[in-house]
Amino acid sequence: MARHGGRRGWYGKVVGAALGVTLVAAGASVWAAQAGAAGGGPSKAAASATPAGQVKAVDVSIVHASDRGPRGVNITIDDGPDPRWTPQVLDVLREYGVKATFCMVGTQAQAHPDLVKRVVAEGHRLCDHSVSHDTTMDKQSEAYQKQQVLDAERMITEASGGVRPMYYRAPGGAFTPYSRTLAASRGMRPLGWNVDTKDFERPGTDAIVATVQREVANGPTLLFHDAGGDRSQTVEALRRVLPWLKDQGYAFGFPVR
């Protein structure tokens, strides 16, 4: 899992101080209660989706595997939701009958709850991708990491109408032992990737498709983006990649929990 660079907080480097104080206070008390119940350590127990008020700890290790087995692939979509591009991505996924995992930035989820609800209604899964997409998270204090993880969890859950994120993906892959343990204690499996399509750099639709075709043998979890700029290349690449993967005998699934 190569690390993304040069994208510190393109939604804003840090959420405003007032937001951070109020949301951390709300999230920290919930986390503290859960951490105490879990004994403060990582759990190896698998967990299924639970109601918003209930949390079941999951494995702390970074997952890549698909629940569809050796020929499974996981489509993951980062950085949204975005009012222009997320609906187009959802339309393509629906056209080909594919379910994906949407790794949402907290401020984006809060701004576009209708899209979060649509993602859930169409059978996709939610993933916490921090509040402000700070790719230097692993160099920040534990208090800051806690705010980014827990506040985003709350924002996404509220925007969805009560459906909690099932995974946590650190911006740019900037995981720490602390953030992984915190996320796992909240029932969010740390989520990595195997194939970075580089669609964020807008290399051209052909290049995105070629990357998937060349690298899918490296592992099942594919990384795309639905926000952060013009994602027309991503939409068109998905339109080509999804049927190609089916033709190659791959089955679409979700990251294991």
Nearest to 163 by CA among 207, 119, 200, 199: 119
Percent above pLDDT 70 for the chain: 80
Q: Average pLDDT, stretch 22-41? A: 33
H or E element, residue 74? strand 72-78
At residue 3, the pLDDT reads 57
> Does any domain span residue 4?
no
In a domain, 42, yes or no: no
User: Number of structural domains, the chain?
Assistant: 1
- For 103-145, what is the HEC assignment? EECHHHHHHCHHHHHHHHHCCCEEEECCCCCCCCHHHCCHHHH
The answer, yes or no, to whether residue 177 has pLDDT greater than 80, is yes
Is the pLDDT assigned to residue 38 strictly greater than 80? Answer: no
What is the pLDDT averaged over residues 21-44?
33
Residue 94 inside a domain? The answer is: yes
- Average pLDDT of the chain is 85
Q: What is the pLDDT of residues 200-247, one digit of tens each?
A: 999 999 999 999 999 999 999 999 999 999 999 999 999 999 999 999
Domain region containing 192: 56-253
Has residue 2 been placed in a domain? Answer: no
Secondary structure of residue 194 in the 3-state scheme: coil
pTM: 0.82
- Report yes or no on 104 lying in a domain: yes
* Catalytic positions: 78, 225
pLDDT band at 72 (very low <50, low <70, confident <90, very high): very high
Q: Would 95 be classed as within a structural domain?
A: yes
Q: What are the CA-CA distances from residue 201 to residues 153, 194, 197 (Å)?
A: 27, 17, 9
Answer yes or no: is 169 within a domain: yes
pLDDT category, 54, cuts 50, 70, 90?
A: confident
Contact 78, 224 (CB under 8 A): yes
Q: Report yes or no on 48 lying in a domain.
A: no
- Examine the pLDDT at 25 and tell me if it is beyond 70: no
* Residues with Cβ within 8 Å of residue 152, at least 6 apart in sequence: 104, 105, 106, 109, 128, 129, 130, 131, 165
pLDDT of 32 higher than 70: no
Q: Does the pLDDT of residue 87 top 90, yes or no?
A: yes
32-41, 145-154, 161-170: lowest mean pLDDT where?
A: 32-41
Q: Measured on CA atoms in the order 22, 109, 106, 229, is the torsion positive or negative?
A: negative
Q: Are 135 and 156 in contact (CB under 8 A)?
A: no
Q: What is the pLDDT of residue 2?
A: 60
CATH number at residue 174: 3.20.20.370
| Dist. CA 251–CA 71, nearest whole Å | 6
Dist CA 167 CA 58 (whole Å): 10
Give residue-wise pLDDT tens across range 111-154: 999 999 999 999 999 999 999 999 999 999 999 999 999 999 99
Q: Is the pLDDT of residue 34 over 90?
A: no
- List, for residues 95-111, the tens digit of each pLDDT value: 999 999 999 999 999 99
Residue 10 has pLDDT above 80, yes or no: no
